[in-house]
C-alpha cells in the first residue's frame, strides 16, 4: 500500500507526531510518499531509519497511490484537492489545526485512522466541486474549488455591484463587499461566517451568500447545483478579487465569469463512527449549555 502525505508544515512540538505516524505506517508495511517541501522541513528533526519517496506536483501522483493524508487544518486539506484533481485518490484529513470541519480526525486517533486505511473499513464521501469559467485563463489547471468561489472588493475600497444571473436569467444586483457561492461542503466555511445556512453535503445545491450587503433585505439563497451562475461586476476601482478556496486572482470589470458544478468530485475518507451531524454538534457545540 502506498500513501501520499501532504502538510504545509507542523510546529516543532509536533515532530513527535511524525514519528508516531511513521511508526504506524511501518508497522503495516505502508510506503509513505511525502510532499517535498514538507519533507524538507521535518527530515532533520526526525530520526529517519530509511529513505522515503517524495512528490512535488499532481503529475507525480499516479494510480499506485491508494490515498492521501492531509496533516493540518481545513486549509491544508483544501490544498490537497489541487494535487488530487480528477484522479479519484481518496483524502484523509488529520486535524492539527483549530476547528476542523473537513480534517475532523483528531491526532489522537492516528493509530485508528491508519488501521482503518489498511483494512479498508472506511466510508467514502463524494463531495461536489465548483468550477469557474472565464473568458481569460484563471487559476491555471485547477479552476475549481471544494469550498467556495467568491468575488470581493480589494482592500478598503468602496463596495461593489455584482449583477448575478441564474442560467442567464437575472437574479439580483448585490451592493456589497462581495459575493460567495459555496458548495455544500463550503457552507460551513466562509459562507457560514457571513450568515449563510448550513447545507448537508449531499443536498445537490449551491449557496449564494452576500458579504456585508448594503440592502438589509438581501439574504443568502440556496439554488440547485445544476444551475450556471454568471456575474457582471461594477465598482469605482478597476480590480477585484476572484477566489477559489484560498487561491486568488485579481480581475477587472471587463472579465466574464460564471460558475457551475464540476464534472468530477473529490473523495473524502470518513471513519465509520463519524458523520456530518456529529461533526456539527462537536464543532459548533450544538446541544451543549455553554453559559457556564
36 versus 100: which is more confidently predicted? 36
pLDDT in tens, 133-165: 999 999 999 999 999 999 999 877 789 999 999
pLDDT-derived band at 198 (thresholds 50, 70, 90) equals: very high
The reported pLDDT for the residue numbered 46 is: 64
CA distance 67 to 117: 8
End-to-end CA distance of the chain, in Å?
48
249 versus 104: which is more confidently predicted? 249
pLDDT in tens, 50-107: 778 899 999 999 999 999 999 988 999 999 999 999 999 999 998 886 767 888 788 7
* Least confident piece of the model among 17-26, 123-132, 139-148, 283-292: 283-292
CA distance 50 to 38: 17
DSSP letter string, 11-53 = -GGGHHHHHHHHHHHHHTT-EEEEEHHHHHHHTTTS---S--E
pLDDT-derived band at 272 (thresholds 50, 70, 90) equals: confident
pLDDT in tens, 228-243: 999 999 988 888 999 9
CA distance 10 to 19: 12
Q: Which residues are catalytic?
A: 74
The reported pLDDT for the residue numbered 108 is: 78
Adjacent-strand bridge partners of 34: 5, 54
The reported pLDDT for the residue numbered 273 is: 67
Say whether pLDDT at 13 is over 70: no
Tell me how far CA of residue 114 lies from CA of 28, 123, 162, 193, 207, in angstroms. Answer: 9, 14, 46, 33, 34
Q: Which domains does the chain have, with CATH numbers?
A: 2-127+265-284 (3.40.50.10330), 130-261 (2.60.200.30)
The reported pLDDT for the residue numbered 155 is: 79
The reported pLDDT for the residue numbered 225 is: 97
pLDDT in tens, 101-137: 888 788 778 888 899 999 988 999 999 999 999 999 9
Adjacent-strand bridge partners of 283: none
Say whether pLDDT at 191 is over 90: yes
Greatest pairwise CA separation for the chain in angstroms: 62
Amino acid at each position: 500500500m502506498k500513501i501520499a502525505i501532504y502538510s504545509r508544515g507542523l510546529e516543532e512540538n509536533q515532530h513527535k507526531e511524525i514519528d508516531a505516524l511513521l511508526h504506524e505506517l511501518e508497522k503495516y508495511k505502508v510506503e509513505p510518499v511525502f510532499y517535498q517541501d514538507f519533507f524538507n522541513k521535518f527530515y532533520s528533526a526526525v530520526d529517519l531509519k530509511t529513505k522515503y519517496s517524495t512528490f512535488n506536483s499532481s503529475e507525480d501522483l499516479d494510480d499506485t497511490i491508494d490515498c492521501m493524508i492531509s496533516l493540518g487544518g481545513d486549509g491544508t486539506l483544501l490544498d490537497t484537492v489541487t494535487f488530487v484533481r480528477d484522479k479519484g485518490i481518496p483524502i484523509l484529513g488529520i486535524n492539527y489545526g483549530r476547528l476542523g470541519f473537513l480534517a475532523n480526525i483528531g491526532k489522537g486517533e492516528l493509530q485508528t485512522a491508519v488501521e482503518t486505511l489498511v483494512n479498508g473499513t472506511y466510508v467514502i464521501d463524494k463531495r461536489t466541486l465548483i468550477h469557474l469559467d472565464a473568458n481569460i485563463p484563471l487559476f491555471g489547471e485547477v479552476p475549481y474549488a471544494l469550498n467556495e468561489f467568491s468575488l470581493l472588493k480589494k482592500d478598503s475600497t468602496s463596495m461593489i455591484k455584482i449583477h448575478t444571473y441564474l442560467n442567464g436569467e437575472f437574479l439580483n444586483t448585490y451592493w456589497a463587499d462581495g459575493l460567495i457561492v459555496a458548495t455544500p461542503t463550503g457552507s460551513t466555511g466562509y459562507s457560514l461566517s457571513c450568515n449563510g445556512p448550513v447545507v448537508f453535503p449531499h443536498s445537490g445545491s449551491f449557496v449564494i451568500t452576500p458579504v456585508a450587503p448594503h440592502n438589509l433585505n438581501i439574504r443568502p439563497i440556496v439554488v440547485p447545483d445544476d444551475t450556471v451562475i454568471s456575474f457582471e461586476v461594477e465598482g469605482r476601482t478597476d480590480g477585484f478579487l476572484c477566489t477559489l478556496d484560498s487561491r486568488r486572482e485579481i480581475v477587472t470589470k471587463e472579465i466574464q465569469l460564471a460558475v457551475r458544478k464540476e464534472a468530477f468530485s473529490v473523495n473524502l475518507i470518513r471513519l465509520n463512527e463519524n458523520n456530518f451531524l456529529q461533526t456539527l454538534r462537536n464543532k459548533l457545540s450544538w446541544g451543549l449549555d455553554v453559559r457556564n
